[in-house]
Structure 1
Amino acid sequence: MVIDLSTPGHPTYGQHMTQDEINDIINPSKESAQLVLEWLKLSGIDAVHDGQSVKAEITIAQAQAYSCLRKGDAVLAVAGFLGEYGNRADLQTFFKSFRPDFLGLSYRTISIRGGLDDQSKPGVEANLDIQYAAALANPEAVTYYTVGELMPEFTPDKNTPTNMNEPYEEFLDDFLAASNPPTTLSISYADYEQTVPKSYAERVCNQFAQLGARGTTVLVASGDYGVGGNSSTASCVTNDGKSAYRFLPLFPASCPFVTSVGGTVGMAPERAVSFSGGGFSEYFSQPTYQQSNVSPYLNNLGPKYSGLFNSAGRAYPDVAAQGDHFQIVVNGTVRSIGGTSASTPVFAAVVWNINNQRQAQGKPPLGFLNPFLYSHSEALNDIVLGSNPGCGTPGFSATAGWDPATGLGTPDLNKLMEVLASST
C-alpha cells in the first residue's frame, strides 16, 4: 500500500493514511490477542496488548520454561521395568508444587514387549524417574518405555534367590530397531553382576555400544549397596560354588559402554552418599579411556581390600549427582526418597540439555560420553569426602580425582557447556 501511495499516477497516490486506518489493517483480531494474553496469564505472566503487540517483562527462567523455546528433536528416554508405571496425575501434582510453569505438560509412553501403563498403580521408581527427568529437562521431550515383565537369563545368589532381573536384551532389541533412537537414555535399575550370566551381560553390553555408535548417551545407576552388600558379610559371597567373600559389582553399571552414575549428598561440602554403588567388574576389563584416571586411586589404595575385588576390571561409577532427600509424588502424596536411581535421571537431564543446545547449533549429539568425560574431568566437581561402605567394610573413599564412590564427580553444567562449545 505504501508503494501505491507513493507512486505517481496511481489512483491512491498522495492519499496518505491516519494511524487509526493503519491499525485497522495490521492489528490482530481481539480474539487472537485474548488467547495469547490468557496463555501468558496461566504461566503467571502479566502482559498488555497495545493493539499491534503483546508486551511483557519476564525473567530468563520464565522464558526458558516454554515448549516453543525449549523443545527440540532431542528425546530423553526413561526405561521402566518390573511392572513400574509412571502416573500422569502425580506428575501434575508434582509440577504444581515444584514446577508450576510446567502444569498441563506431560510425557509420552511407549510399550516394549507387552509393557503396561496402569495408571491405577503409580510406581515409586517410575514416578521418581519421570518427575525429575521432566522437571529438569522438558516434559514433552520425555518418553517412558514400559517394558513387559519378561524373565531374562539368570543365575541366583544369596541376595537374589529368585529371578527379579530386568530383560535388558529384549528391551534393547526393540530400542535399537528405531530408525532414530533417543539421544539420551536413563536406566535406574541394577542387578548383581554375578546373577547375570556372562554371555547375556556381554550381549547387552554390546547393544549399549551400538547405541553409543548411533549417538545415544546411556546413563545407568551405579546401585544402592555401596561395594556390594549390606552389613552382613553373608550377602557378599560369590555364587560360583566357592562362596568366597567378595565385593559384588552391579550390572549394567559395570558395562564399559554406559555412563554409570553414583550418588552424593549435601552442599558445601558435597560428599559421597553412603549407599553409592561402586567398584570393579568381574566380567569386563578396564577400558583404556579410564586407565590413567583409575590407576592413581589403585596406587594410593595399595593392598587394602586385596582379594576382594578385581583391580583390572572396568571401574565404576563414572560420575555422580545428588541422590538423597528427593521429594516425589506417589498416589497424590509427597514423599522423600533417595538412591542412585535419583541421581541418574538428574544427570540424564543435564545431558539432554547439552544435546538440545548442540542440536540448536547444528552439532551432533554427545553419544557415548565416557571418553570425553575422562579427558575433561575439569568440567566436573571433584568430590573428596565420604565413602560407600558395604560387605562389613568402610568401602571405598571419595578422594581427589576418580574414585569408586563418586567417579569423576558431579556435573557443572556451565563448565560442560563451555568445554563442549569448542567440540564438534
Structure 2
Amino acid sequence: MKFDISLLCSVAVGAQVVLGTPIRSRTPYNVKETHTAPSKWTKLGRAPSQHKLHLKIGLKQNNFEELSRHLNEVSNPDHGRYGQHLSVDEVNDFVKPTDETLDLTHEWLLSNGVSEMSYSPAKDWINILLDVGSAEALLDTEYSVYRHEDGTALVRTSKWSLPSHLHEHIDTIQPTTSFMRSVPKKSDWIQFSQPWTPPDYKPPTNETISKVCQFFPVTIECFQTLYATKGYQQKAPGIAKIAFNNFLNQTPIRPDIEAFLKHYRPEAADSANTFKSIEIDNGPAAQSEPLTLEQAAGDDFVREANLDAQTILGMTYPQPVYSYSTGGSPPFIPDLNAPTNTNEPYLEWVNFVMAQHDIPQVISTSYGDDEQTVPEAYARRVCQQFARLGARGVSLLVSSGDDGVGDEDGSSCYTNDGKNKTTFLPSFPASCPYVTSVGATQQFEPEVSAYRAPGLGPDGLKHGFYASGSGFSYYFDRPDWQDDVVPAYVKSLKGKYDGLYNKGGRGYPDISAQGLYFAFVFNLTESSISGTSASCPLMSSVVSLVNDALISSGKPTMGWLNPWLYKKGYKAFTDVTIGDSYGCGTKGFPVAKGWDPVTGFGTPIFPEMVRLAKGDHDGHH
C-alpha cells in the first residue's frame, strides 16, 4: 500500500477510546526502550494530553540480512553482479514483516482502540495518529515537553513499554525518545562587498587555478577547475538526475537561485525556475517570489535550501534537479500548550521516496545531529532505510558536520547515558555505513581540512568555530570495507584520545570537497556561506556527472559508493594531508596520508573517477 499521510487524519476518532479502555494484551508490559534526554534539553513539564502525535511503528523486517548481502554484491566492483541494482518490488520483498508480526501488532492496536492506520510500501512501518493521552496509554509512558537551549521544542518521553510478546516484533516507535533535530550542517552566512584574503593565505602557484580560485568567495568556476569537471559535455541529457533534501520548512527561493546562476553560470539561469519541487507531508514548495521581510530578517531556515540548489544547478546543468521538501516546523519559543510539530522527517522522506519507481540516482542531504540524540534502535532502522535506497542504485551523500569531534570548548562533549563521561560526539546520519559521508576542505594548493577558529571574519564581524565533522560511530560497527584503512589509522594515533571514541566503530567521513566561503546569493544580495552543507552538494554534483558518463557508455550508475570507494575508487581522489579536526577542547583527529576521519580519502578528480568507474563496470552489465 502506498504511504499516504492524509490517511492518518481520521485515525484520531478511532483512537480516542483508548483513554477509557483498560490496556489488554496477551502478556504484561515491559520497558522496550530508555533513552535519556541529551544535556542541552530541559524538561518543561507534561505534554498537553490533546496534542497530536504521528506515531510510526517500525516492525521487525523479515530478511534485511539477505537485502544487505544483495546490496554488497551489487556495490562491490569485484563481484559479477556489480551494478545490477534491485527493483522497488525486490527490495520490499526482502524487508516486509512476517504475517505473524503484522497479525500480533494489529491485534495489540485493535485491542487498544486503534482501528485506522496506514503503511509504508513494504508494510514495515505502521503509521497512526494519536493524541498524547492515548499514546501514553498505548505505550505505558508519560510524554513531556522538552526545550533545547536554542529554543527548539519537542514532545518526547525518556522511556516507553510494550507487551512482552511484541518486543521481538517491533524495533522502534517514534516520536518517543528521539531528540534529533536534523539541523543544517552549515556555518556563518557573510555578506560581502569585495573579495577578501587573510594575511597568512598562500595563493596557488598553478596559474590555471589562481586565475579562478580566491580565498573568499569561492565560485562554481573554481570548483569546476579544481575537480576537473570544467568543459565536460554531458552525453546522456535527462537520464542522470540529482536531488537534494530540505527539512524544517527549508525552501529554495527561485529568484535568489536565478540571480546566483546569472552571475556564476549564466547558461543555467533558466533552470532556477524549472527544477522540480516535490513536497512531502505538507512541506513547502520552492518559492517563486523573493524572500519575504520575515524570511530575510529571520533565521537560517531558508539559506540551506538555497545553498544546495545554487551549488547543484551550477555544477550539473543541464541535468534534471529535484528538490524534496519534507514537512516539519523550525525551532520557535515553545509554549506548553503549543509545542512544535513532532514528526521524524527522515522517515517521512525515505518512505515516500522508496514508494517511487523513478528515483534520482544521487541525493544530497546536508542535515544531521549528534548521534547520541537518536536512540540506537531508531538510528539503525533509519540506516536500514538508506540501505534500501542503495540497493535501488541511489548514491546517498550526507554532510559530516561542522563541529569537528564536538563543540569548540567541550561543554557538551559528554555521554547522555547517565554516566556523563567525556566523549567525542559522532554525528548521525553521517555515521550510518549506508551513506557516503562528506567532509570539508579549504584553500587550493594544497587543499587542507576546513577549520576556522572563532574570530573576525571577512565582514569584520566575529564568527564562530567551524571544523569539518569527524569521528567514529558508537552505534555502527566498522564495516569490512573499511578494514584495510581504518585500523591502520587508529594504530597511528598510538593511544591518543583512547576512551574518547570507539576504535571499532564506522569511521567517517569517506571523502571531502571544498566547504569554506562559497559564493552565494541570499535576499538577492551577494554573500558567502560555509560548511559541510556546501561540500556535500558539491561532491554529490561530481558523482552525478560521473553517472552521466556511465549512462552514455551503456553502464549502470554508481549506486551505493562506499565499497567501490574503499576498494578502488580512492585512487581517483587527491589525498589531503594537512589539518586537524578540532573540537571538545582538543585539536581532535589529525589529518593523515591515506584515509583519515577528517577528510576521508580526499577530494575528487573527475576524469579519474570516470575512468575507474567505467573500468569497474566492464563485464558487469
- TM-score normalised according to structure 2 size: 0.55
Partner of 2:551: 359
Q: Which amino acid aligns with 2:413?
A: C
Partner of 2:284: 116
Partner of 1:85: 251
**More deviation, 122-131/263-272:** 122-131
Counting only pairs closer than 5 Å after superposition, residues 10-29 of structure 1 correspond to structure 2 as none
Partner of 1:414: 607
Q: 1:63 to 1:392 in 2, by over 3 A?
A: closer
**More deviation, 353-362/209-218:** 353-362
Counting only pairs closer than 5 Å after superposition, residues 274-423 of structure 1 correspond to structure 2 as 274=451, 275-376=467-568, 377-423=570-616
State the distance in 1 between where 2:237 and 2:366 align: 24
SS of corresponding position for 2:377: helix
State the distance in 1 between where 2:253 and 2:509 align: 30
Partner of 2:233: 64
Q: 1:402 to 1:283 in 2, by over 3 A?
A: same
1:242-261 CA distance string (max 9 Å, x none):
11110000000000000000
Partner of 1:242: 419
Superposition deviation, residue 234 in structure 1: 2.0
Q: Which amino acid aligns with 1:380?
A: F
Question: Structure 2: any 5+ residue segments left out of the alignment?
Answer: 1-228, 297-301, 331-339, 452-466
Q: Is the 8 A contact 2:237 2:318 kept in 1?
A: no
Q: 1:98 to 1:203 in 2, by over 3 A?
A: same
Partner of 2:323: 144
Q: 1:166 to 1:415 in 2, by over 3 A?
A: farther
1:76 aligns with 2:242: yes
1:111-140 CA distance string (max 9 Å, x none):
011101262447110010110011101255
Percent identity over paired residues: 44
Q: 1:165 to 1:295 in 2, by over 3 A?
A: farther
Superposition deviation, residue 61 in structure 1: 6.6
SS of corresponding position for 2:270: coil
Q: Is the 8 A contact 2:240 2:319 kept in 1?
A: no
SS of corresponding position for 1:178: coil
1:105 aligns with 2:274: no
Q: 1:166 to 1:247 in 2, by over 3 A?
A: farther
Superposition deviation, residue 312 in structure 1: 0.3
Q: Which amino acid aligns with 2:252?
A: G
Partner of 2:138: none
1:260 aligns with 2:419: no
1:124-183 CA distance string (max 9 Å, x none):
1001011001110125511000010079xxxxxxxxxx9999621221010111012110
**Equivalent residue for 2:304, pick from 103, 112, 125:** 125
Q: 1:99 to 1:240 in 2, by over 3 A?
A: same
**Which protein has the bigger strand share?**
2
1:323-359 CA distance string (max 9 Å, x none):
0010111110111111001000000000100111111
State the distance in 1 between where 2:491 and 2:473 align: 18
1:49-74 CA distance string (max 9 Å, x none):
xxxxxxxxxxx978938xxx662222
SS of corresponding position for 2:325: strand
State the distance in 2 between where 1:311 and 1:164 align: 34
Partner of 1:211: 389
Equivalent pairs counted in the alignment come to 351
State the distance in 2 between where 1:105 and 1:150 align: 28
State the distance in 1 between where 2:491 and 2:341 align: 38
State the distance in 2 between where 1:246 and 1:234 align: 11
State the distance in 2 between where 1:63 and 1:262 align: 25
Higher relative contact order (CA 8 A, sep 6+): 2
SS of corresponding position for 2:485: helix
Superposition deviation, residue 83 in structure 1: 1.1
SS of corresponding position for 1:169: helix
SS of corresponding position for 1:403: coil
State the distance in 1 between where 2:468 and 2:342 align: 21
Q: Is the 8 A contact 2:249 2:329 kept in 1?
A: no
Q: Is the 8 A contact 1:70 1:138 kept in 2?
A: no
> Which structure would you say has the larger Rg?
1
State the distance in 2 between where 1:309 and 1:373 align: 24
Q: Which amino acid aligns with 1:310?
A: N
State the distance in 2 between where 1:265 and 1:277 align: 14
Superposition deviation, residue 77 in structure 1: 0.9
Superposition deviation, residue 418 in structure 1: 1.3
State the distance in 1 between where 2:341 and 2:485 align: 36
Q: Is the 8 A contact 2:436 2:510 kept in 1?
A: yes
Q: 1:164 to 1:224 in 2, by over 3 A?
A: farther
Partner of 1:222: 400
Q: 1:70 to 1:329 in 2, by over 3 A?
A: farther
SS of corresponding position for 1:334: strand
Q: Is the 8 A contact 1:183 1:365 kept in 2?
A: yes
State the distance in 2 between where 1:352 and 1:227 align: 29
Q: CA RMSD in A?
A: 2.0
